Structure 1
Amino acid sequence: MATGDELKEALRDSVDRDYTFMHICGTHEAAIARTGLRSVLPEGLKIVMGPGCPVCITPQGEIDAAIEFVDKGCIVATYGDLLRVPGTRGSLESSGGDVRVVQGVHKAVEIAEKTDKEVVFISVGFETTVPTVAATLLTEPPENFSILSCHRLVPPAMKWLLEQGEASLDGFMLPGHVCVVAGYEDYEQFPVPQVVAGFEAEDILLGLLMLVRQVNEGRHEVENAYPRAVNRTGNQKAKKLMYEVFEPADVEWRGFPVIPASGLRLKQEFARYDAKEKFGIEIKHVEKTTGCICDRVLRGIAQPTDCRLYGKVCTPRTPVGPCMVGHEGACKIWSLYHLRRP
């Protein structure tokens, strides 16, 4: 790979108009902010955030459902990022129930094996985390274990974004972690420039250069700038596991409407592990009532500093919206690196 300086020079030579590219990965945003990449990009080249933080796009209705499990006396296990995401009645952290942070679904199963109480795992994440959940359910965990599936699939969200045309996007930087599992063949349906990129500064610069060149040459294809980890078809064994246990479902994203086939629900043969069915809980749509603009940040039409709450009412210690909670949330990342309006 070329050096960072060589890539920056090549970008300066290639940029001859305004370009806007969207990444769909919180880890990309963290790398961009940590390395100060936006400050070295040529004028006219802009990279915006998309719905790449799984915690951030979990709607309030799912957080409210998680708190209902607490109300029913369940032990609720989840990732630490989800703990402080606000619902309409507070967060899991403030619920006063038996809520435990775990590193993965297998740890939640271990809790269930050691208690007679019901254990519900709040299962969030894109394609990256689904195979381990599927593999765990195939081992037939104890009867007192169940999950709330909050999983999302990236391509349907991209399709929705392209159909809206809100952000006037010239192309996408595809999520490296997701593509390790899912590959990138599903993205070939979109007639826009796309590049799979890794997470070092040079990876991101190379991805941007490849996107700029596609635009300049009038091409639209999926190119892979992360071949050391990603191939076109992804991890076949992981995908087989995923679709053995889950099937696509129409679900709402925070900041988005219901997007067809963008979520994953358990297949009927695994319904005994479906916490919604087990406890008769319904996921309800919740209208936004705060001044938080996470919905606009997730759609690439605003940046954290556009929000009047950012750094004032909304901080990592007192988050108003989910983008200030998770380590992949844009507002949390910008606050961590003390970023203000560019």
Structure 2
Amino acid sequence: MRYVQEFRQAAAVQAWVEAIAQRVTRPWTLMEVCGGQTHSIVRYGLDTLLPEGVTLLHGPGCPVCVTPGSVIDQAIAIAQDPQVIICSFGDMVRVPGERQQSLQQARAAGAQVQIVYSPLDAVAIAAKNPDRQVVFLAVGFETTAPATALAIAQAQQQQLTNFSVLLSHVRVAPAMTQLLADPDCRIQGFLAAGHVCTVAGLAEYPAIANRYHVPIAITGFEPVDILQGIYACLDQLESGRSEVVNCYGRAVQEAGNLAAQQWVERVFAIADQDWRSLGTIPEGGLEFQPEFKSFDAHCRFAITGAIALTSVNDCISGLVLQGQKQPCDCPAFGRTCTPEKPLGAPMVSSEGACAAYYRYRRTQVMN
């Protein structure tokens, strides 16, 4: 398949591995932002091919993982009303909230929870069920926000008064800034998420690179993509530079997708946002523009943001999301925490670091 197979060829991978080995003269620590990149790294063992001392940290780039547990608890609370249908992406229904309950468990108890593949599916469900309130649980980075904005605009055009959105979209660049501002930060360079940049462009990254003196390489998700991004970061670190390099030119343009950005700006405004395990990140998310406030599920159902945290002592997912620990450092990994009975979100999501290690390295980690 074009743009896939040629980026997985062993000869090309080996060439980049050798180039990295020849360029590196000292230890360096990079972080890949996106969970999709984490899965590729673990699946293909790319981190094991790097020179000794070159470390990859797994970042909080899993939208399901960073959705606050309180948002899930709010969705479950709304779902207790028999006149409500909650619509969610598949991964989200299995993620535990602060009270260690999931939407899947709520559905088993009788709540109307439907898995959808697009927010437009939720709009269609609302149109077919005018006597029910339909709530879409909107999560994800800049990649998925345009579709949510379009769904809200479509619902407004159709004058659907029974459709609303429980909003928890997040923005990647502010999270990178918060990680770098930590006094204990070990990150010396970033592999930025290519799909996010496809929509949002590169405008926010130069300021981060300049302020914190870290190179940022925009990368894709195949082995060659990732190794090319690693080389781009290490080359800059070795020469004392900190710039933004687009290594994913076949998909990412500097300005991003202007039409998608316009939809997001029309429906949403930038706002502070809670991230699971990272706390409140300034400008880390989105809120409704006044014109579309009637579609805010918080207003429609008069729900609040704070629900008491239930501590899970064995789960270190917070440290995993911050890149401070690896999944294999967790005492619960593969024992009391599995994809079937997860203690934390990174074991659930198809982009979660714990799920990647469980799928591809469980035997090595647990032996």
Could you tell me which amino acid in structure 2 is paired with residue 338 of structure 1?
R
Question: Is the contact between residue 100 and residue 310 of structure 2 (CA under 8 Å) also seen in structure 1?
Answer: no
Q: Distance in 2 between matches of 1:44 and 1:216?
A: 14
1:198 aligns with 2:220: yes
Partner of 1:75: 85
Instruction: State which of 147, 159, 168 in structure 1 corresponds to 2:186.
Output: 168
- Report what 1:240 is aligned to: 262
Correspondence 1:20-169 to 2 at 5 A: 20-73=29-82, 74-87=84-97, 88=99, 90-95=101-106, 96=109, 97-115=111-129, 116-139=131-154, 140=156, 141=158, 142-169=160-187
Contact persistence 1:326–1:332 (CA under 8 A): yes
Residue 55 of structure 1 aligns to a residue whose secondary structure is helix
Q: Name the SS for the 1:265 alignment partner.
A: strand
Match of 2:237 in 1: 215
In structure 1, the partner of 2:3 is: none
Q: 2:327 aligns with which of 287, 290, 304?
A: 304
Count of aligned residue pairs for this structure pair: 342
> Given the alignment, which residue of 293, 306, 312 partners 1:284?
306
Residues 186-241 of structure 1 show CA distances to partners (whole Å, capped at 9, x for unaligned) of: 11111311000111101111100110000011000100100000011101111011
Q: Secondary structure at the match of 2:65?
A: coil
Deviation digits for residues 154-197 of structure 1 (CA, Å, limit 9, x no counterpart): 01111110100434111100000100000112111113110001
Q: Is the 8 A contact 1:147 1:275 kept in 2?
A: yes
The 8 Å contact of residues 199 and 261 in structure 2, kept in 1 or not, is answered as: yes
Q: Segments of 4+ in structure 1 off by > 6 A?
A: none
Read off the aligned partner of 2:86 and give its amino acid letter: V
Asked if 1:321 is matched to 2:344, the reply is yes
Segments of structure 2 that go 5 or more residues without pairing to the other structure are 1-6
Q: Distance in 2 between matches of 1:132 and 1:12?
A: 42
For 1:301, give the aligned amino acid: Q
Aligned residues of 1:167 and 1:300 also touching (Cα < 8 A): no
Does the 8 Å CA contact 1:166/1:301 hold for their aligned counterparts?
no
CA distance in 1, matches of 2:100, 2:80: 12
Aligned residues with identical type, % of pairs: 41
Deviation, 1:284, is 0.8
Q: Which runs of 5+ in 1 are unaligned?
A: none
Cα 1:40/1:243, change in 2 over 3 Å = same
Shift in CA distance, 130/223, structure 1 to aligned 2, threshold 3 Å: same
| Structure 1 range deviating more: 216-225 or 184-193 | 184-193
Q: Alpha-carbon deviations, 1:242-298, whole Å to 9, x = none?
A: 011001111211111211111111111101110110010011154350021111011
TM-superposition CA deviations, 1:29-57 (whole Å, max 9, x none): 11111111112111111111111000100
Higher helix fraction: Structure 1 or Structure 2?
2
Contact 1:70/1:76, CA 8 A, preserved across alignment = yes
Secondary structure of 1:94's match?
helix
CA distance in 2, matches of 1:341, 1:313: 15
Q: Compute the RMSD of aligned alpha carbons.
A: 1.4
Q: Shift of the alpha carbon at 1:64?
A: 0.6
What TM-score results when the alignment is normalised by the length of structure 1?
A: 0.97
